[in-house]
């Protein structure tokens, strides 16, 4: 049986990162958007952020949304 190798490449630095905004904007008591999970500071930062930072914001926001769903908030 032949083995297949999988090549994993890092995303290009200039790759467009789509905003996680769902147009369900409402901040909770901790200034976290209940729609996308971003902090108010991250929402403000988005336009000036480079692709790497945008990916990090998306990753952390997704974690917040999952955590919120699991805790029933």
Q: Taking Cα atoms as reference points, which of 64, 66, 58, 61 lies closest to residue 18?
A: 58
pTM of the model: 0.75
What is the rounded distance in angstroms from the CA atom of residue 36 to the CA atom of residue 60?
Answer: 10
Q: How many residues in total does the chain contain?
A: 73
Domain ranges for the chain? 18-73
Q: Which residues of the chain have pLDDT under 50?
A: 8
């Amino acid at each position: 049986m032949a083995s297949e190798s999988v090549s994993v490449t890092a995303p290009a630095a200039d790759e467009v990162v789509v905003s996680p905004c769902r147009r369900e904007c409402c901040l909770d008591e901790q200034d976290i958007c209940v729609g996308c999970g971003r902090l108010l500071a991250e929402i403000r930062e988005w336009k000036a952020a480079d692709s790497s930072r945008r990916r990090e914001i998306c990753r952390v926001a997704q974690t917040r949304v999952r955590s919120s769903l699991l805790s029933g908030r």
